[in-house]
Amino acid sequence: LLTNAKYESADCRNNQCVINYTHDKKNCRITCKAIINTTGPWVNNVLQSIQPKQSYPDIDLVLGTHIIIPGQLTQGMYYLESPDDKRAVFVMPWNNHILTGTTERLYTGRPEDVEAPEDDIKYLLSVYNHYFDNPVSRNDVIDAYAGLRVLLSDNGSMFSRSREITIHHNDSPSANVFTLYGGKLTTHRATAKQLLKVIKRHLHRA
């Protein structure tokens, strides 16, 4: 497992994939049977770097913000609805503090530049203060962070879209490139099992 390697490109054909990457400033290459593309907001960037040319769906990147605020919850975790737009917000214990989130907004920037917008922080504080009698202010926020979720492009609202994962397999039956769209960290084990079943079924036929 090369956690500090940088992927560069790949060539997948005839049931074999050649992956080019750099490691310790050296150009390297490995050969494998399949590529499993689970790179989150970079999934289509990876597909664009693979030869032969890969097909891929249009996606939306959805930014979600969490904040950590001081305090202790006395009764586990809470499911709340924003009084403004009825979105779900969770409040839960987190390392002797309180974690509140999340928000949803379309994001069009570079994934590596994502950060928690100030409007999202104020939104979460407003929801929390609406339900709890120990109000917190912006100066009380211990930390704020944001992540990106990948959704297939759709005209519907972000909150109403399906949370089901999509496993995309390229058009060529011998290229062996599998890409995961969607999914959450909290369901990673179930998602991994589902993905492996698809890959095993395909490789068994190859």
- Report whether pLDDT(186) > 80: no
60-151 — its CATH code?
3.30.9.10
Distance set, CA 81 to CA 85, 121, 125, 129, 197 (Å):
8, 16, 13, 12, 37
Q: Are 52 and 72 in contact (CB under 8 A)?
A: no
Position 44 pLDDT exceeds 70: yes
pLDDT band at 156 (very low <50, low <70, confident <90, very high): low
Tokens 């499911």, residue located: 79
Domains 6-58+162-205 and 60-151 share a fold: no
Average pLDDT, the chain: 92
- Domain extents for the chain? 6-58+162-205, 60-151
For residues 93 and 2, what is the distance between their CA atoms, to the nearest angstrom? 34
pLDDT band at 68 (very low <50, low <70, confident <90, very high): very high
CATH of 6-58+162-205, one of 3.90.1150.10, 3.50.50.60, 1.10.287.40, 3.90.78.10: 3.50.50.60
3-state secondary structure 65-95: EEEEECCCCCCCCEEEECCCCCCEEEEEEEC
pLDDT of 1 above 90: no
Q: Could you give the 3-state DSSP secondary structure of residue 63?
A: strand
pLDDT over 90 at 71, yes or no: yes
Q: What is the pLDDT of residue 155?
A: 74
Q: Map residue 203 onto helix, strand or coil.
A: helix
How would you list the strands of the sheet with 50-51, edge to edge? 26-32, 16-23, 6-13, 50-51
